[in-house]
Amino acid sequence: MDFDTLTSPVPPDGAPPPSPGLGTRLARFIGEVLQTMVVAAIIFLGVNLVTARIRVEGSSMEPTLHDAELVVVNRLAYRWSGPVRGDIVVFRFPLEPERRFIKRIIGLPGEYIVIHDGQVTIDGVPLDEPYIAAPPRYSGEWEIQPGQLFVLGDNRNNSSDSQTWGPLPVGQLIGKAVLVYWPPPEMGLIPHTGQLVQASG
């Protein structure tokens, strides 16, 4: 007895393969959307681990930074190296840790800071500060202990900073401010500078 063998129909040469059904196309589309969402979530989490975004509030960092500017902060800046004089940093305000401040590092651990007659000196050496709005009208002396930093706003006479509430514990640092990304006319890298005046001769 002969039995017929069941075989799939073979399209004639040059004929296009049958198109997938609606269910197959829908499943493929959903799979692609889910893959895109997973990749986007991984990128978002990665960016949040490495950076933070803050909004500048007030005029304490003028003329370098202005009120309402949005800034990117590098959270990993001090993971493998220590803070540097002149760095503009974001930190948790020691008196209210839920608040975030942005200031410039002026003094490092072990240094002796004196502000007098509008001039900052560090261990007796003047600090060159072309970035400030105006010379400070206050005076004071501070000895910076290990694990501390001395931070000031560039708008010296309109800033809540180390001259009013004392040195900043290093552990309060969030990161280094690196980029203004809003508004577009102010977009760009944030300059970091703070050089001691070298003695001539």
Is 171 part of a structural domain of the chain?
yes
**64 vs 6, 67, 69, 90, 150, CA distance in Å?**
80, 10, 11, 14, 18
Residue 9 has pLDDT above 60, yes or no: no
Instruction: Pick the catalytic residue from 8, 103, 160, 200.
Output: 103
Q: What domain count does the chain have?
A: 1
pLDDT for 51: 64
Q: What is the DSSP letter of 90?
A: E
Is 23 part of a structural domain of the chain?
no
81 has catalytic annotation: no
Q: Tokens 């202990």 belong to which residue?
A: 145
- What global pTM score does this model have? 0.77
CATH number at residue 98: 2.10.109.10
pLDDT for 2: 47
Is 27 part of a structural domain of the chain?
no
Residue 120 has pLDDT above 70, yes or no: yes
Instruction: Pick the catalytic residue from 8, 19, 59, 60.
Output: 60
Is 183 part of a structural domain of the chain?
yes
- How sure is the predictor about 150, in pLDDT bands with cuts at 50, 70 and 90? very high
Helix (H, G, I), strand (E, B) or coil at 157: helix
86-99, pLDDT tens digit by residue?
999 999 999 999 99
Is 38 part of a structural domain of the chain?
no
Is 25 part of a structural domain of the chain?
no
Average of per-residue pLDDT across 171-194: 92
pLDDT for 16: 59
The boundaries of the domain holding residue 115 are 52-196
96-119, pLDDT tens digit by residue?
999 999 999 999 999 999 999 999
Is 15 part of a structural domain of the chain?
no
CA-CA distance, 39 to 51, in Å (whole number)?
18
pLDDT for 200: 41
176 has catalytic annotation: no
Is 178 part of a structural domain of the chain?
yes
Mean pLDDT of the residues in the chain: 85
